[in-house]
Structure 1
């Protein structure tokens, strides 16, 4: 427990808790809307912003945020115009963002500090300023969900029905796309571009094994994210391995165990029911 005395570890713990809350809300919307592929495209497109930020000498995070929002809005706009298929638009922005990032990082003179943290994550480097930024984003997201929960719920499950009820479906879509983009960029420091998609989908996949309601999935996802985040962080400390990868590995391991238990329980219940039917 001596590790808790260090500021960097305290910051990591606070960061995991705050990001778990925001990520659970965003991730539940992503899984419900089946936007996992879009999220992956936005995540990798933001790499272009990192490259441009390093080349111009500006904040890589702000540049990545600009690229993430631009790609998210671009995919949403193109897919709604029916001129380009959604998966094709995602692939274009995904490839373009990665290509721009690689080119500008190559053109950047000297060493690019912190690039590894953005690619593979390093939660132990987050600061109090990062935590304050995470907290502000999480608070804004909670307020948005509190005021527009019914609209978000209908838009996520049945946008056509939401249109018939004269709900602002387009506004909700663009607002949630903006929140997704900001959440992606803020959580890149946690597990990196390579593993970020897992953090926004695996807790929801585990939650789906035990519930099928939107609100319940959010609460379960928050609990699972915090549990696996803290467990992965502590495990990485004892094993002396990267924290981001350990957190994702912990999520994958818990999903595998939970899926096995649920499948086995369902199998036993099915066999028991068939046996009762045959006896009758």
Structure 2
């Protein structure tokens, strides 16, 4: 049974899962505390628009999906802060918009379009060494952010109104954590 650990693809998968689990633990506590569990589905489906755009333009669909993830998560944050829109309603709007954009670009793409759902769900066994470096860099950046701003993150997560009265940078923490959530989802 342990002979499977001798295969490089399995080693990459195991190391990748360990690295991602650290980032997911940090991001997950924030998402749960803020009651934003629906955002992972919304941003994931909004990424479909980025995948479709990437294929239509002939550029990396993963890169365009990441850009879409960040823009859509910032859009959710902006809609819920600037307008009288609840966060779950904003997530639903971004979800539908991203899927619609993705379908539109896939329809407009000439020739063969690969199965884009494989990008959304993927396979842990396809993780490469370069992916491990990206995962590790992101996780280290996230750990550094938490180390620097942990008291602010906790204060803003549990009671944003009280944090505002104490003149804490609630908006900065919200937007920074939203970007981290989006990148973690991709």
User: When the two structures are superposed, what TM-score results if normalisation uses the length of structure 2?
Assistant: 0.94
Aligned positions of 1:81-160 closer than 5 A: 81-113=82-114, 115-160=116-161
Contact 2:44 2:120 in 1 (8 A): no
Shift of the alpha carbon at 1:90?
A: 1.8
Max Rg structure: 1
Measured in 1, the distance between the counterparts of 2:168 and 2:143 equals 20
Measured in 2, the distance between the counterparts of 1:116 and 1:6 equals 26
Measured in 2, the distance between the counterparts of 1:105 and 1:20 equals 32
Measured in 2, the distance between the counterparts of 1:140 and 1:11 equals 21
Shift of the alpha carbon at 1:100?
A: 1.0
Partner SS state of residue 38, structure 2:
helix
Deviates more, 1:123-132 or 1:84-93: 84-93
Shift of the alpha carbon at 1:114?
A: 6.1
Shift of the alpha carbon at 1:149?
A: 0.2
Is there any run of 5+ residues in structure 1 with no aligned partner, and where?
A: 186-280
2:183 alignment counterpart:
182
Residue by residue over 1:180-208, the C-alpha shift from the partner in whole angstroms, topping out at 9 and shown as x without a partner, is: 011011xxxxxxxxxxxxxxxxxxxxxxx
Deviates more, 1:60-69 or 1:74-83: 74-83
| Off by >4 Å, runs of 4+ in structure 1 | none
Shift in CA distance, 39/119, structure 1 to aligned 2, threshold 3 Å: closer
Measured in 2, the distance between the counterparts of 1:28 and 1:82 equals 26
Measured in 1, the distance between the counterparts of 2:29 and 2:111 equals 41
Measured in 1, the distance between the counterparts of 2:17 and 2:115 equals 20
Measured in 1, the distance between the counterparts of 2:112 and 2:10 equals 27
1:52 alignment counterpart:
53
Shift of the alpha carbon at 1:21?
A: 0.3
Is there any run of 5+ residues in structure 2 with no aligned partner, and where?
A: none
Partner SS state of residue 36, structure 1:
coil
Shift of the alpha carbon at 1:92?
A: 1.6
Instruction: Give the RMSD, CA atoms, in angstroms.
Output: 1.4
2:42 alignment counterpart:
41
User: When the two structures are superposed, what TM-score results if normalisation uses the length of structure 1?
Assistant: 0.63
